[in-house]
Amino acid sequence: MRDVGELLKERVSTDLADNVCCVEDVLGGNADLIKREFVYHEQRNLTGIVFFVDGLVSPKEIDHSIMRPLTMHTAELERFQHAHLGPQFAEEIKKHVLTNTGILLFDKIDTAINGLLSGDTVLFLEGCGEGFLISTRGWEARSIDEPTTEPVVRGPRDGFTENIRTNTALMRRRIRDANLQIEGLQIGDRTRTDINVAYIKGVVREGLVEEVYKRLQSIRIDGILESGYIEELIEDAPLSPFTTIQSTERPDKVASSLLEGRVAIFVDNTPFVLILPTTFWQFLQASDDFYSRYWAGSFFRLVRFIAFFISLTFPSMYVMLVSFHQEMIPTALALSIAAGRESVPFPALLEAMVMEVAFELMREAGLRMPRPVGQAVSIVGSLVVGQAAVQAGLVSPTMVIVVAITGISSFAIPNYAASFSIRVLRFPLLLASGALGLLGFAAVFSLLVLHALSLRSFGQSYLSPAAPFQPSEQQDLVLRMPIWMMNRRPAVAGADDTRMGPNQMPAPPDEEGEGDESAESRMADEEEAPNAGKGKRKGSRPWRSGKS
Amino acid sequence: MKVRITNGMLMGLVVNMVYAKAIGLTQGIMAREAGSDMWMATILSTLQGMAVMLITVIVMLRLPEKNMVEQAALLLGKWGGKLIAALLFLFFLGAFGTVMITFVYHLMDYFLPEVPVIVFILVGGAVAVYAVYQGLEVIARMALVGSFSIIALNVLVLFGSIYQFDIRELLPVFQNGFVNTIKASRHNDTDWAMATLMTALILPLVRDRLTWKKSAPLAIVYGGLFVLQWPILEAGVLSPEMTGQYIVACMQLARSAEIGQFIHRYEMIMIAFFATSALVQTMMSLMCACMSVSHVLGLKDYRPVILPTTLVLGGFGYWVVLDHGRAMRLLSDYWPPAALAVAFGVPMLVFAAGFLRKKKLAAARKEAEEEKQAQMRKSS
């Protein structure tokens, strides 16, 4: 038996048996490989054969677009009664007989094998020097559902699925721009996973797409099973605890990122799409910041910033104050804390470490257990064990409150990966604060800031636009300014950095010349004649004129 | 590609390079010499700092691609350059010592009296090493963060202590005479000296050289304004006599400040916002020392000398900080004449050398211009 590598290099033969032999030598032992022989030209007694992988194809599609035209619509074939066999004949069959929309003529066996394994159907017809690769992909897939990791109160409910084509379609539905490019490549010597790179031409910064391709094409690996593989193989700071590439299940998030001039990487078989370049602050933004009014959006974002600081520093600050700097705590509060700690036999650092580890344990157990059991674990862990520990005098009530608030704060961070980074970074900070008090806290916090300041994501500073400080970019950082104020794209964008027309701030109609008419009477007038007597709004917005 | 920082970052570095030491230890010393005129001495010192900074920038602009040591090497010869580099290393060795006095005494005297001095030196040194290893751009970004912290700290301390402020404490003006006030300003001049000599080493790495002349002295003005609030408040709240009793006067001011019942101790808030500035001072002193050593040894990159330089600087810092008396003698007696001689002498020496060797300077400028054009052609 010949080597598979050699077989793949073989060319398609005019002899049907040779082609069948090649395919069977490569994939013949597989139970899900289906072979169907048939006669497609009775007068000339020409036979054909289709190969497909069961489960990856749509049988209906094969029936309607391949088998029926070739075996039942024989009248079409009679015109080829005297035609010369060969590649020209294959072209004629493709043009006049087969009804499928995606047909590729190929002359190499490896194209056939790749196509088969991707869900396409391979058709060999006797007398043609080429094979037909026919798009018949159709496997069972999860339907579009609400993303479980990034829920929103207001906003679209659809989320990405495991099917890359569904995911890119969700993008096309949102951005109907001819400049939206979705380019494909395959990565993984064995998995040959489909990867799509999406960006908007003109909006994306020059050189960014090339850099993304450069990094993607340098990947040499046997398989890509999830976008996390890609993330780890192309990120700027592989040793850093910070995530420098954002992943999301939300199509609206990807669409807004593309409109900001970023690049998205879609990976087949995962609902998580990568967005780059990424700044740290993106992880503290939720989609509904932009769907709620800016007051609400800004308020919730502020809450998340506070949650971030609490999540990172609260246990460390508590341990630092209780262990080293009691004089900094207001007297009444200090007495209350001291009363709670009276019976606790452990130092505050050990107490905090144990509680933090226990909290992580409960979280992990609740996540991994089957859902009903997971809930039980959470309830038992948080209520029963916590209460019992306090009553037994092993943990102080204040510590339970500190750890609980820290845990809740970490849940307020919308991105799980970022939340995890912060959870991990909490521990060195806690240890340093417990060991050296303010000195340890200041040193480790400074090291973290220095490290974050040194990071870049595809050429963009990780902490921008805060550091380096860009005054014009502050409108979407801690506060979310009104959409009509955000008329420019972020600095990451390319040449086309204007996203809306001038003077988009809405205003009521100008009342000049309308005397003391009441609003009701004006509305009644407008109902009668929609365009009559309409005051000017700020700026020129022809698309908002009474035509609609 | 060479690391480049913006003019804004340079301004942030200058402000941070001065602030931490100037608001506390320097003011204590000046209070002992100038009494209620400590704020006048700060203003005079800021003006002197601006003048020296302007001279330094003018010297640098003659050959903007080269730092002060490289210019010295060109004009005074290889060994002349090495001598200047060695002098700058000694300056930053001393500066590191004074910065460590600031850093350690703030934390040790007010928060962690039982922790050995060596721990402070090791921790401060470790943070500085990491930052210097990351490079100037990262430190400059940290300085921008530090600038915001400085503003926040100033506002908080102002709110917390304004109710105790008594303007009569600032009177009479020139209590100890005008000459004495000018003389006392030399202590704050040593803080500006760190900023001007740092600028002399890093200015070629700052973008947009057309605004150097504006941004560098302006940074001194901003720094001066941020610092000036402290002697005024220290004199007006604590009284000049009381301020002079403390080594770290700013911490005493912070201790007396309060807002309501629950912000009754400012020291920790003070450290939270002040730490960045103190650490930027440590980082930049170490970085400039490393750059000087690399020039002495003729190395292109300063990174190989980070660890040995840190050991030398850390050792000196430990020796100085270990004894409060020794530290204060260094700060008030030995450091001002030494620091000011280098800060004023080196730019003037290089300026004079350039004046005397105009032809060489012109040739070097022409060569740099040709090199720049060749690079532009290459990149296009």
The one-letter amino acid at A347:
P
Closest CA to B343 of B243, B201, B154: B201
Say whether A99 sits in a helix, a strand or coil.
coil
> Quick one: pLDDT at residue A540?
42
Mean pLDDT of B150-167: 90
User: Smallest Cβ distance to B111: which of A437, A446, A468?
Assistant: A437
Backbone angles phi, psi at A175, to 5 degrees: -115, 100
Backbone angles phi, psi at B365, to 5 degrees: -65, -40
> Quick one: pLDDT at residue A527?
52
Min distance B123 CA to chain A CA atoms (Å): 7
Q: What is the largest CA-CA distance in chain A?
A: 104
> Quick one: pLDDT at residue B373?
84
Q: Where are the domains of chain B?
A: 10-379
Which residues of chain A have a CB within 8 Å of the CB of B267?
328
Which residues of chain A have a CB within 8 Å of the CB of B13?
none
User: Smallest Cβ distance to A450: which of B107, B123, B134?
Assistant: B134
Closest CA to B280 of B95, B70, B122: B95
- The kind and range of the H/E element at A125 are strand A121-125
pLDDT-derived band at A304 (thresholds 50, 70, 90) equals very high
pLDDT tens track for A81-101: 566 666 777 888 888 888 888
pLDDT-derived band at A525 (thresholds 50, 70, 90) equals low
Q: From A469, which residue of chain B is nearest by alpha-carbon distance?
A: B144
Which of A448, A453, A470, A473 should one mutate to test binding to chain B, selecting the residue with the greatest count of B CBs within 10 A?
A453
pLDDT tens track for B367-376: 888 888 888 7
**CB atoms A461 and B127 under 8 Å:** no
CB contact, 8 Å: B3 with chain A? no
User: Smallest Cβ distance to B144: which of A446, A450, A469?
Assistant: A469
CB contact, 8 Å: A237 with chain B? no
> Quick one: pLDDT at residue A71?
84
pLDDT-derived band at B173 (thresholds 50, 70, 90) equals confident
CB of A147 within 8 A of CB of A167? no
> Quick one: pLDDT at residue A93?
83
**CB atoms B142 and A453 under 8 Å:** yes
pLDDT above 70 as % of chain B? 99
Closest CA to B146 of B280, B308, B40: B280
Closest CA to A484 of A424, A539, A410: A539
pLDDT-derived band at A539 (thresholds 50, 70, 90) equals very low
The C-alpha atoms of residue B380 and residue B377 are separated, in whole angstroms, by 5
Among A14-18, A275-279, A484-488, the range with the most confident prediction by mean pLDDT is A275-279
**CB atoms B123 and A443 under 8 Å:** yes
CB of A365 within 8 A of CB of A381? yes
Say which residues have a Cβ less than 8 Å from residue B2's Cβ, sequence separation at least 6. Answer: B205
B126, burial (CB in 10 Å: exposed 0-12, middle 13-18, buried 19+): middle
What is the number of CB-based contacts under 8 A between chain A and chain B? 79
User: Smallest Cβ distance to B141: which of A324, A447, A453?
Assistant: A453
What six digits make up the tokens of A28? 């013949």
What six digits make up the tokens of A529? 């004649």
The C-alpha atoms of residue B165 and residue B233 are separated, in whole angstroms, by 7
CB contact, 8 Å: A448 with chain B? no
Intra-chain end-to-end CA distance of chain B, in Å: 16
CB contact, 8 Å: B124 with chain A? yes
Among A28-37, A103-112, A419-428, B126-135, the range with the most confident prediction by mean pLDDT is B126-135
pLDDT tens track for B46-98: 999 999 999 999 999 998 889 999 999 999 999 999 999 999 999 999 999 99
pLDDT tens track for A252-271: 999 999 999 999 999 999 99
> Quick one: pLDDT at residue A494?
79
Asked if residue A371 has pLDDT above 80, the reply is no
Please tell me what DSSP assigns to residue A12: P
pLDDT tens track for B4-34: 889 999 999 999 999 999 998 999 999 999 8
User: Smallest Cβ distance to A439: which of B120, B141, B144?
Assistant: B120
CB of A354 within 8 A of CB of A396? no
The CATH architecture one would assign to domain B10-379 is: Up-down Bundle (1.20)
CB contact, 8 Å: A449 with chain B? yes
CB contact, 8 Å: B113 with chain A? no
Asked if residue B260 has pLDDT above 80, the reply is no
Which residues of chain A have a CB within 8 Å of the CB of B120?
439
Asked if residue A51 has pLDDT above 90, the reply is yes
**CB atoms A439 and B119 under 8 Å:** yes
Asked if residue A45 has pLDDT above 70, the reply is yes
- Using CA atoms in the order A244, A248, A252, A254, what is the torsion angle rounded to 10 degrees? 40
CB contact, 8 Å: B28 with chain A? no
Mean pLDDT of B139-163: 91
Which residues of chain B have a CB within 8 Å of the CB of A325?
111, 268
Q: What is the ipTM of this complex?
A: 0.91
User: Mean pLDDT score of chain B, rounded to an integer?
Assistant: 91
**CB atoms A449 and B130 under 8 Å:** no
Cβ atoms within 10 A of the Cβ of A504, count? 17
Asked if residue A374 has pLDDT above 80, the reply is no
CB contact, 8 Å: A414 with chain B? no
> Quick one: pLDDT at residue A303?
95
**CB atoms B268 and A446 under 8 Å:** no
Mean pLDDT of B183-187: 93
